[in-house]
Amino acid sequence: MSGQRVAVVTGADRGIGKCIAEQLHRRGDIVVAACLFDGAGLADGLHIVPDIDVTDGDAVDRLFKYINDRAMTIGWLVNNAGVLGLDELGSIDYGDMRRQFEINTIGPLRVTETLLPLLADDAKVSITTSRVGSLGDNTSGGMYAYRLSKAAANMVGLNLHHDLSKRGIAVLMNHPGMVATDLTKDFPGDFDYIQPEQAAEGIIRNMDALTLETSGRFQHSNGEYLPW
């Protein structure tokens, strides 16, 4: 496959996704920023594709069309879009649980499956999951919907690894760290938050280093591999 090689980032309007898109752009990569809203705050020079809700098949088809119409080839697909709902046993909102699954779990699968024909033979796919979705690391309970959606997102990524590494495509599940973004502003407890720029740098470093040999793993933005 030939054509201009691009990095596609979902959920690029703000937070970690915005930082990943802008950092890649600054180093000279061609970036397609898929935004749920309009991407108005993004740096000049990015290909902004607005109204890309990862739960909406028609919207994701529009993202496919944008890239395909320009004969672009996807080198990196960064599935970053995500939401966090804070629920506790006794007050679980099952409608919101389904919404978090739609965005956090099915979203990256839908986007990756739709864009597959445009992926380069040596492409790399990232899914931003979360340490909160680790079974081995769960020592506190709570956050049912988010934990379940991110644990299942890790399974999406591991499955994609098995299916896509045969084609030469490497897949990595990235945990950004505890990051000060809109997503965590109501998160209870005291944490040493890092800034989204630092999380983005780490995820880009992980993706730069990713090979078929290290594909199918779960990695912190600080480089440490995490337990499932």
Ligand X SMILES: NC(=O)c1ccc[n+]([C@@H]2O[C@H](COP(=O)([O-])OP(=O)(O)OC[C@H]3O[C@@H](n4cnc5c(N)ncnc54)[C@H](OP(=O)(O)O)[C@@H]3O)[C@@H](O)[C@H]2O)c1
Give the binding site for ligand X (CB under 6 A). 10-11, 13-17, 36-37, 52-55, 80-84, 103, 128, 130, 175-176, 178-179, 181-184, 196
Spatial CB neighbours of 152, under 8 Å, sequence gap ≥ 6: 101, 104, 105, 133
CB of 187 to ligand X, least distance (A): 8
Q: Which is nearer to ligand X, 16 or 120 (CB)?
A: 16
Q: Which is nearer to ligand X, 186 or 213 (CB)?
A: 186
CB of 94 to ligand X, least distance (A): 18
Q: Which is nearer to ligand X, 122 or 182 (CB)?
A: 182
Q: Which is nearer to ligand X, 97 or 212 (CB)?
A: 97
Neighbours of 69 (CB within 10 A): 8
Q: Alpha carbon of 136 to those of 160, 177, 203, 206: distances in Å? A: 21, 16, 22, 21
CB of 70 to ligand X, least distance (A): 21
Asked if 70 contacts 201 with a C-beta cutoff of 8 angstroms, the reply is no
- Looking at residue 48, its amino acid is I
Q: Which is nearer to ligand X, 176 or 202 (CB)?
A: 176
CB of 65 to ligand X, least distance (A): 17
Q: Which is nearer to ligand X, 36 or 116 (CB)?
A: 36
CB of 75 to ligand X, least distance (A): 21
CB of 2 to ligand X, least distance (A): 29
